[in-house]
Amino acid sequence: MLDVAVVVGSLRRDSINRKLASVLTTLRPERLTLRQAPVDGLPLYNQDLEAELPAGVLAFKEAIDTARGVLFVTPEYNRGLPAVTKNAVDWGSRPRGKNSWAGKPIAIVGASDGRLGTASAQAHLRSIVPAIGGLLMGTPEVYFQWKPDGVDENGALTDPKSNELLGKFLDRFADWIERVGTNG
């Protein structure tokens, strides 16, 4: 089984990216498990806190360190990466010598109610992942347009093509983890 830590870049309970992460859990291939890494307990990154890492940082880093891969599910704010996502990236890379991202297979997806999905935020994150030592899955790229009328009362997507697209994305990510992953 390939355990994947899911980093949702939003703190909002009703976030469409949190909903997308939930949908992905139902569409995952059997060889993957998806569990959310806790970002809500992360203080804003401050190097002064590295001497004694806060409990929220320890829990987050443990979730990343023990996972075989990481899936970022990120919103886009003002054509860029949300602070929540960037803060998680920064804490995961610290303290020096304890980079949780190094050698970790990583994929990125995100949802927006706009037609461009989260293209700008994903481009920003795609430029950061190699710099922190992550092994970025280049394709497929998924910029998902979230449509409130495309979800049933149980939170499942009603469009078969969307379900197929996201299922294939997760299957490719599982292949990526098996091909390049070295941990576990």
H/E stretch holding 112 reads: strand 105-112
pLDDT, the chain, mean: 94
| pLDDT bucket at 183, cuts 50 / 70 / 90 | low
Left, alpha or beta for 108 (phi > 0: left; psi -120 to 50: alpha)? Answer: beta
Coil, strand or helix at 153: coil
Domains of the chain: 2-180 (3.40.50.360)
184, pLDDT greater than 50 = no
Statement: the pTM of the whole predicted model exceeds 0.85:
yes
Q: Which tokens is 129 given? A: 């992942």
pLDDT band of 174, cuts 50, 70, 90: very high
Spatial separation of the C-alpha atoms in residues 166 and 174, rounded to whole Å:
12
pLDDT digits (tens, 9 = 90+) for 107-161: 999 999 888 889 999 999 999 999 999 999 999 999 999 988 888 888 888 899 9
| Calpha distance 169→165 (Å, rounded) | 6
Residues 6+ apart with CB under 8 A from 64: 5, 7, 37, 70, 92, 100, 101, 104
Q: State pLDDT tens for residues 8-52.
A: 999 999 999 999 999 999 999 999 999 999 999 999 999 999 999
